[in-house]
Amino acid sequence: MANKQSTQAIIGDPQWDGLWINDPMHQKFLKNDVRAQLGFFRPMLRSDGGFDVPDFDGAPLPDGPQEIHTTARMVHSFALAKQFGFDGCDDVIDAGMAYLWNQQRDPVHGGYFSSVNRDGTAASDVKLAYGHVFVLLAASTAKDAGHSDADRLLADVTEVLQTRYWEEAHGRFADEFRADWTTFSAYRGLNANMHAVEAHLAAYEATDDTAYLERAGRILSFFFDELAPAYNWRLPEHFDENWKVDADYEGDPMFRPAGSTPGHSMELGRMLLQYWDLKGRSDASMPTKARRVIETAYTDAARPDGGLVYTLRDGKVSVPDRYWWPVTEAIGAFAALQKVDPQPKDEERYRALWAFADSYLIDHEKGGWFPELDDAGQAVSKQFLGKPDIYHAIQAGLFPPVPALSRVSAKAG
């Protein structure tokens, strides 16, 4: 598979004998990519305060429902960028915060609709924990950025998560209910709980309320203390209502694909390191557990021709397609490991991941990242339409150069 456009000489100094996360040339590349992403996604703000999804060229895709995670991720991404010193973020943050509260919040039953139509009606009668934890993430990052409405949103969504989704006996979140909170599903999953960890760590950083940290810790303990050692450091993702592994489950191929998603394991491994740092680094076993899960996922998923496969079954490739977001999460995971106990293979993988992203995933002409590739390394639209997301890639550009594992936005610069 031939290189599409650029070389490592552009993304970092190949002669740099230290870590690329400390290389001024690489840091300049990261900052430029973040700036390009912000410029690509900023025009997706509509006159009604919602957000369009861009096609490959940056034109809005045809009208469709507004997904709650789209709104929340735009708020989170631009609020992060503001804290890192990028200009022109306030209009997106303001609009997204207003849209979450005025359009996507359910004034009758409480909580937040998973998607809404342009006329403000609910496009789905399902309320997802996945969407609610992204609202918590958006509120937390907006609070860090000084937004005046952040406290209101944070308090509201926290109350919903605690009273509707949190299962105290298990120490984890249920996944879904009807709009009126009627139970219809016994499904429990890693994906929503992983992003719950992310959001609760962010909420703790924004508020210093230890309840957020305690809930994140209970979720992490289940996956890293109970499941990972029992499953050869590969994390199952699908469960029944009693949190028994459901190895035969197959749901939405985008959010709940059959088998396991190695990108999630690397993402959650980075979060374990963030939690360990926030807890004062008292448990010496946590970095070891994070490394084992991250390295196992990477080894299972890495394709010989570059990039990472989407899903696995028992450590064997199931869906070999290559998406952008597992690459960004692997970048974040290996950058985090290097801040704790750097190993030569961490740097080799970090550089290789960025070289692959630069050559095949980053659209240097139009902006943004291509979401998926065919076997020839060409951008395709099978699972995703357009360039649906800034959130994964912008964090891959912002987080690695900051020496800290936690409270990174406060320690940037």
Does some domain include residue 411? no
Known active-site residue 264: yes
Known active-site residue 132: no
State mean pLDDT over 283-297: 98
The two three-digit tokens of residue 406, written as one number: 């936690």
Does some domain include residue 72? yes
| pLDDT, position 1 | 46
**Contact predicate 46/53, CB 8 Å:** no
Does some domain include residue 244? yes
pLDDT tens digit string along 112-152?
999 999 988 999 999 999 999 999 999 999 999 999 999 99
Alpha carbon distance 329, 353 (integer Å): 10
Does some domain include residue 2? no
State mean pLDDT over 401-410: 96
**How far is CA 73 from its chain centroid?**
9
Considering 69, 238, 264, 364, which one is annotated as catalytic?
264
Does some domain include residue 412? no
Residue type, 347: E
Does some domain include residue 410? no
**Contact predicate 285/229, CB 8 Å:** no
Return all residues near 145 (Cβ < 8 A) that are at least 6 apart. Answer: 79, 80, 82, 83, 93
- Among 7-21, 29-43, 66-80, where is mean pLDDT lowest? 7-21
Return all residues near 126 (Cβ < 8 A) that are at least 6 apart. Answer: 114, 176, 177, 178, 179
User: Within a 10 A sphere around the Cβ of 341, how many other Cβ atoms?
Assistant: 10
Domain that holds residue 206: 8-405
**Contact predicate 324/392, CB 8 Å:** yes
State mean pLDDT over 351-371: 96
Phi and psi at residue 91, in whole multiples of 5°? -65, -40
Does some domain include residue 413? no
How many separate domains does the chain show? 1
pTM greater than the 0.95 cutoff: yes
Does some domain include residue 3? no
| pLDDT, position 38 | 98
| pLDDT, position 2 | 43
Name the helix (H) or strand (E) containing 238: strand 238-239
Q: How confident is the model at residue 63 (pLDDT cuts 50, 70, 90)?
A: confident
Range list of H helices, 242-284: 262-278
CATH code, domain carrying 273: 1.50.10.10
| pLDDT, position 8 | 44
Considering 69, 132, 147, 392, which one is annotated as catalytic?
392
pLDDT tens digit string along 28-62?
999 999 999 999 999 999 999 999 999 999 999 98
pLDDT tens digit string along 146-195?
999 999 999 999 999 999 999 999 999 999 999 999 999 999 999 999 99
| pLDDT, position 4 | 56
| pLDDT, position 253 | 87
